[in-house]
Amino acid sequence: MLKESFLRYLRYERNYSDYTVLSYGTDLVKFEEFFKNMDEALDYRTVDADVIRNWVVSLMDAGYTASSVNRKLSSLRSFYHYLLRKGVVSVDPMLKIAGPKKRKPLPVFVKEADMARLLDETDFGEGFLGVRDRMIIEMFYSTGMRLSELVGLADKDVDFSAGVIKVTGKRNKQRLIPFGEELREDMKAYVEARNESCDGKCEAFFVRKDGRAMLPGTVRLIVKRNLSKVVTLKKRSPHVLRHTFATSMLNNQANLEAVKELLGHESLTTTEVYTHTTFEELKKVYKQAHPRA
């Protein structure tokens, strides 16, 4: 009766849809089956937090995702809130229950061999636009800068003699990114082609053919189009190249704190996600290479 009363309350007082009410009802039935298997004497009034925790463990063991388990706990939480208001229970067993944390997806990145193939073997087209499009890919990969940082780059931000680029990141925080000889020469070649194309009247470092600053959407399309030439990843965005920069740095023994500073992260915790990415890559290599893997 308690369950039926709660479901009527959802349908007619809270105006929940039939589908939602059915989902809540199914969750409660499954939970009841679980605790009755534990102890026939248990009912909704006598269930405690330990029983609910055991249910969560059983769901995770059965292969339910954190999202699915949290949805079921949401049903239970609403149910016990209802019972508490009605005076059926004096203590809400859900107060001590925390749902499982959702696992953050690992950053998507492009393998070093694919990036080499893209930059060294791929035809980007003739003239200024071809030079510019390749330069955009190389800049993302070589510096790890964000899309907003790239489109906001000005000539004065690139110091060729010192070998550093000044970028303005989130909350207008500025940082310096060093660059090597290869990127220096490629940037100089790009600037020469750019100035010739727009007669030196350029609004930004990266520009359209008429000299106006690049739009973020255009840069996204350029990256997506060119990454499609070497990879079949679902995500083919500028941020994937930022992930690729970080992963390549760590794979080649860069210090985590240094990568944090280069990326402009506020917290080291944000950067640490890339250590999981590199470990996943190590596991793949191990499984492919070791005879007993």
Supply the residues annotated as catalytic. Answer: 146, 170, 239, 242, 265, 274
Q: Which residues pair with 207 in a beta bridge?
A: 213
Rounded Cα gap, residues 153 and 191, in angstroms: 13
CA distances from 14 to 4, 65, 179 (A): 14, 28, 60
